């Protein structure tokens, strides 16, 4: 990255006491979240009341007709076209949608803006019947200046028109105002959050230096200054700064903080920042605008010598890729849902998220800041060359630079953000045109944010290296083909590389296929994948190959697994199978329930807590006497397995072996001996266990050979009870908070009944409402928004939403056979 210079009009660690004296407040700034009061229509004739965020398609019904595509998915290596029935989720997101509401603008407001955090898609905004503005990209935040169209002191009508075209997405994009909308009112001179930038210049345990720059809007010719106060988590002011605003509206300040509490995934400490825009001096000083924000004190760096460093300490990304849908909620963003995702991932040991393949919401970034999750904020899935007929390629030439600018300005103040991504598997990566575009987009990021570096996910390593495309990037990111890393690094002047997208292992929660095979070609009549975690795609690999690259190659700086959670659409390897309408790639299923693979990653990534996980379950009527392989995912190196008290032998993980020898196409390039060696470096396996009902137990041993823990799985009896477990038993009375209730069918002793598919009914009463339901079955066509669904391998998740008043939510869950259970959730 090129060196950069910022001119500071004032460099103050502590502002004069007189300047920071209390001032009169005449601020006209107001920001109103426009959540309620909207009407929605698909035809502009029939309207219904909705709240924002809203996804118009998530209620279904599922049907292959909604976006039936006859295409060859070139990213999957396909050369012949075929029918793709669930590629974009098989939900009714195609077509037009309209939102309208009225709002009043006070007479004292000088400027009025509508800010959209995202609208799917091609939003056109009308105020009082006139087009006020539009934006092309459904994933980006944008503002519309409605000042020329508003009537002060009177009611104004706002209409948002949206248009989702067929074959415009490779996954489920949702439809509607799926992210928050705000009305921003200001006076003549005001603070614009997209113009301010606060970052850590340097920091250690003793002192940190923060740099602030801003470009004040309006107020030209007036005597203005800005002042900043930085509050520690305990509420004490730890740094202040003040300076005059230049005639061009610009200002630069520094703050010095003694003994800072540094932000990291392990300690996500946030400071409160108060910024005031002041007119005049002394007792005549008036605060004309003010705002608060949060910041984290931390440094990031990338280098050949040290790889990636956070706060001066080298570490490797243990990341996942995430699409933007939230399973049964669809794309309507929700803070409680995001928090749940992050907590699940952090327990696995994950510390980073790639927002694939789109720009994140502001709400996402705020959650990642507060809970400690590093972020690769991605921009585009395509440039000029279209991956689907009506995708973003239609807009790239005219809109790309503006979209990148909005991405950076909207998110650069978040400490969780550690890098930008300007593309994913861009076909132009082989050409000089692609090199020029990559350089231009990267330079925009550098100009607006010199503190972060830029990457993108490249899937054609030879082409990208031959053209110079990979060499242009600050951070060379490669998708899959880990066995090519040694060849790639020899041609990269950066001296390091990132696994920007890895694994693409496929599995269905609770499904086990026999015999157990390692394959990139397995498909089955039921449209499911095996949870033995030995199946992957033609372009990808098993998790072990990426673990080895991360552990053994000093030049790698980590990985982002495809994907952390299943998502709607892209049901590979069942793109042509109906019904199949969601992915199998997730480490967790669409309901957020961990698959077995979750514990494999946890055993490698979670360095704080021990992991001992057994698979498969041990309820197999009809398999008596048949070989049923058993695996244990654990951070311990050795374990002994017992079936009804009889030892099946002790197993010990194997040592280090070559990535290049093990990461190609396993079936074509490996014999059984090499395959077993690959798996047994991170798994403990008993391949010849013969099933007999009863008890399966594993005992793990520490490095001294002493028993350190155990796990027992028992054969389940007749279903007799429902187990209800809520992720939260208390909700906020804000109308937005959610509780996720995991429903499992058990026998009389509490053993899960793993293959039951009973119909479940959910009844919600009291201080909340039913929100959604999901069982994680990619082939289920049952609606998410109706309070009934079949169990998928003994489990599902029901979600309830808080109301606006305190009280108690009562949730009664029942089966068709009459088994019932109740759980209560407090609302405060």
Phi, psi for residue 592 in degrees, rounded to 5: 90, 5
- Confidence (pLDDT) at 11: 31
Q: Which of 501, 535, 640, 692 is catalytic?
A: 501
325 has a pLDDT exceeding 80: yes
Are residues 231 and 367 both part of a single domain?
Answer: no
Any catalytic annotation for residue 425? Answer: yes
68 domain-assigned:
no
Any catalytic annotation for residue 501? Answer: yes
Phi, psi for residue 600 in degrees, rounded to 5: -65, -50
18 domain-assigned:
no
CATH number at residue 648: 2.60.40.10
Q: Which residues contact 647 (CB under 8 A, 6 or more apart)?
A: 640, 641
- Confidence (pLDDT) at 73: 81
665 has a pLDDT exceeding 90: no
The closest alpha carbon to 143, from 178, 185, 173, 97, belongs to 185
Instruction: Record the pTM.
Output: 0.95
Residue that finishes a domain, picked among 661, 696, 714: 714
> At 182, is the pLDDT very low, low, confident or very high (cuts 50, 70, 90)?
very high
Q: Which of 122, 276, 425, 640 is catalytic?
A: 425
Are residues 457 and 480 both part of a single domain?
Answer: yes
What are the tokens at 421? 């991504």
pLDDT above 70 covers what percent of the chain?
Answer: 94
Q: For the chain, how many structural domains are there in total?
A: 5
Mean predicted confidence (pLDDT) in 375-388: 97
71 domain-assigned:
no
- Confidence (pLDDT) at 1: 38
Mean predicted confidence (pLDDT) in 623-633: 97
13 domain-assigned:
no
Are residues 178 and 200 both part of a single domain?
Answer: no
Are residues 45 and 139 both part of a single domain?
Answer: yes
Are residues 540 and 646 both part of a single domain?
Answer: no
Residue that wins the pLDDT comparison between 200 and 675:
200
Q: Which of 16-20, 137-141, 343-347, 395-399 has the lowest mean pLDDT?
A: 16-20
Are residues 735 and 764 both part of a single domain?
Answer: yes
Are residues 679 and 811 both part of a single domain?
Answer: no
pLDDT above 90 covers what percent of the chain?
Answer: 89
87 domain-assigned:
no
Given the structure tokens 């693409």, which residue do they identify? 504
- Confidence (pLDDT) at 425: 97
> At 222, is the pLDDT very low, low, confident or very high (cuts 50, 70, 90)?
confident
19 has a pLDDT exceeding 50: no
> At 22, is the pLDDT very low, low, confident or very high (cuts 50, 70, 90)?
low
Are residues 731 and 813 both part of a single domain?
Answer: yes
659 has a pLDDT exceeding 60: no
Are residues 666 and 702 both part of a single domain?
Answer: yes
Structural domain including 371 reads 301-598
CB atoms within 10 A of CB 171: 22
19 domain-assigned:
no
5 domain-assigned:
no
Residue that wins the pLDDT comparison between 282 and 113:
113
> At 74, is the pLDDT very low, low, confident or very high (cuts 50, 70, 90)?
confident
Average model confidence (pLDDT) for the chain? Answer: 93
Are residues 578 and 622 both part of a single domain?
Answer: no
Mean predicted confidence (pLDDT) in 763-782: 98
Residue that finishes a domain, picked among 598, 624, 643: 598
pLDDT digits (tens, 9 = 90+) for 445-488: 999 999 999 999 999 999 999 999 999 999 999 999 999 999 99
Residue that finishes a domain, picked among 685, 714, 743: 714
Are residues 449 and 576 both part of a single domain?
Answer: yes
Q: Which CA distances in Å does 376 have to 196, 356, 419, 762?
A: 21, 9, 5, 38
15 domain-assigned:
no
Are residues 544 and 670 both part of a single domain?
Answer: no
Sign of the CA dihedral with 589 first, then 593, 595, and 600 last: positive
């Amino acid at each position: 990255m090129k060196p950069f210079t910022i001119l500071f009009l004032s460099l103050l660690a502590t502002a004069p006491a007189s300047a920071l004296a209390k001032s009169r407040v005449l601020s006209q700034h107001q920001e109103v979240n426009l959540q309620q009061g909207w009407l929605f229509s698909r035809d502009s004739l029939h309207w219904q009341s909705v709240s924002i965020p809203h996804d118009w398609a998530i209620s279904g019904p599922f049907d292959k007709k909604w976006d039936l595509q006859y295409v060859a998915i070139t990213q999957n290596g396909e050369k012949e076209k075929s029918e793709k029935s669930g590629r974009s989720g098989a939900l009714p997101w195609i077509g037009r949608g309209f939102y309208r509401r009225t709002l009043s603008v006070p007479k004292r407001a000088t400027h009025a803006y509508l800010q959209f955090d995202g609208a799917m898609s091609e939003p056109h905004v009308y105020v009082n019947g006139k087009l006020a503005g539009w934006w092309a990209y459904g994933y980006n935040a944008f503002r519309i200046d409605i000042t020329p169209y508003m009537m002060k002191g009177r009611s104004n009508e706002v209409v948002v028109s949206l248009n989702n075209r067929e074959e415009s997405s490779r996954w489920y994009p949702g439809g509607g105002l799926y992210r928050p909308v705000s009305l921003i009112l200001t006076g003549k001179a005001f603070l614009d959050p997209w113009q301010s930038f606060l970052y850590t210049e340097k920091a250690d345990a003793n002192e940190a230096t923060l740099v602030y720059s801003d470009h004040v809007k309006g107020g030209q010719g007036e005597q203005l200054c800005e002042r900043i106060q930085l509050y520690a988590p305990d509420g004490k002011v730890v740094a202040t700064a003040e300076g005059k605003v230049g005639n061009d509206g610009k200002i630069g300040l520094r703050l010095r903080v003694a003994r800072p509490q540094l932000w990291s995934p392990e300690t996500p400490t946030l400071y409160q920042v108060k910024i005031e825009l002041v007119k005049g001096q002394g007792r005549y000083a008036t605060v004309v605008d003010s705002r608060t924000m949060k910041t984290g004190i931390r440094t990031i760096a990338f280098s050949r010598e040290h790889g990636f460093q956070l706060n001066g300490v080298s570490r490797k990304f243990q990341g996942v890729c995430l699409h933007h849908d939230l399973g049964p909620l669809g794309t309507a963003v929700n803070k409680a849902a995001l928090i749940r995702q992050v907590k699940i991932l952090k327990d696995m040991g994950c510390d980073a998220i790639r927002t694939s393949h789109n720009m994140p919401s502001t709400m996402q970034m705020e959650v990642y800041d507060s809970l400690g999750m590093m972020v690769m904020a991605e921009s585009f899935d395509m440039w000029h060359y279209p991956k689907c007929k009506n995708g973003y390629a239609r807009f790239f030439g005219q809109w790309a630079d503006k979209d990148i600018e909005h991405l950076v300005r909207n998110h650069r103040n978040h400490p969780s953000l550690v890098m930008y991504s300007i593309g994913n598997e861009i076909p132009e990566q082989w050409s000089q045109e692609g090199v020029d575009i990559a350089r231009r987009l990267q330079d925009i990021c550098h100009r607006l944010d010199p503190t972060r570096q830029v990457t993108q996910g490249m899937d054609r390593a030879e082409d990208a290296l031959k053209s110079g495309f990979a060499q242009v990037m600050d951070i060379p990111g490669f998708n899959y083909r880990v066995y090519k890393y040694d060849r790639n690094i020899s041609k990269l002047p950066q001296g390091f590389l990132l696994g920007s997208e890895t694994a693409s292992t496929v599995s269905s929660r609770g499904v086990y296929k026999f015999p157990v095979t390692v394959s990139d070609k397995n498909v089955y009549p039921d449209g499911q994948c095996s949870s033995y975690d030995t199946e992957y795609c033609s372009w990808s690999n098993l998790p072990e190959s990426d673990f080895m690259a991360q552990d053994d190659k000093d030049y790698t700086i980590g990985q982002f697994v495809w994907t952390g959670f299943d998502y709607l659409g892209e049901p590979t390897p069942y793109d042509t199978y109906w019904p199949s309408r969601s992915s199998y790639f997730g480490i967790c299923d669409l309901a957020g329930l961990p698959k077995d693979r979750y514990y494999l990653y946890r055993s490698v990534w979670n360095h704080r807590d021990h992991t001992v996980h057994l698979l498969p379950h041990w309820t197999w009527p009809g398999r008596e006497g048949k070989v049923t392989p058993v695996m244990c995912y654990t951070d311990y190196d050795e374990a002994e397995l017992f079936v009804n008290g009889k030892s099946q032998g002790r197993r010990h993980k194997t040592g280090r072996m070559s990535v290049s020898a093990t990461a190609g196409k396993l079936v074509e390039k490996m014999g059984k001996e090499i395959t077993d060696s690959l798996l047994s470096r991170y798994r403990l396996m008993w391949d010849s266990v013969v099933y007999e009902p009863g008890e399966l137990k594993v005992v793990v041993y520490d490095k001294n050979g002493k028993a350190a823990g155990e796990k027992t799985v028992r054969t389940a009896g007749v279903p007799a009870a429902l187990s209800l477990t809520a992720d939260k038993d208390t909700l906020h009375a804000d109308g937005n908070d959610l509780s996720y209730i995991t429903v499992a069918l058990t026998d009389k002793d509490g053993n899960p009944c793993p293959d039951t598919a009973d119909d479940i009914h959910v009844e919600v009463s009291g201080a909340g409402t039913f929100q959604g339901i999901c069982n994680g079955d990619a082939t289920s066509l049952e609606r998410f928004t109706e309070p009934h669904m079949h169990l998928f391998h003994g489990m599902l998740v029901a979600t309830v939403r808080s109301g606006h008043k305190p009280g108690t939510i009562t949730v009664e869950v029942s089966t068709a056979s009459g088994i019932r259970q109740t759980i209560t959730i407090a609302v405060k």
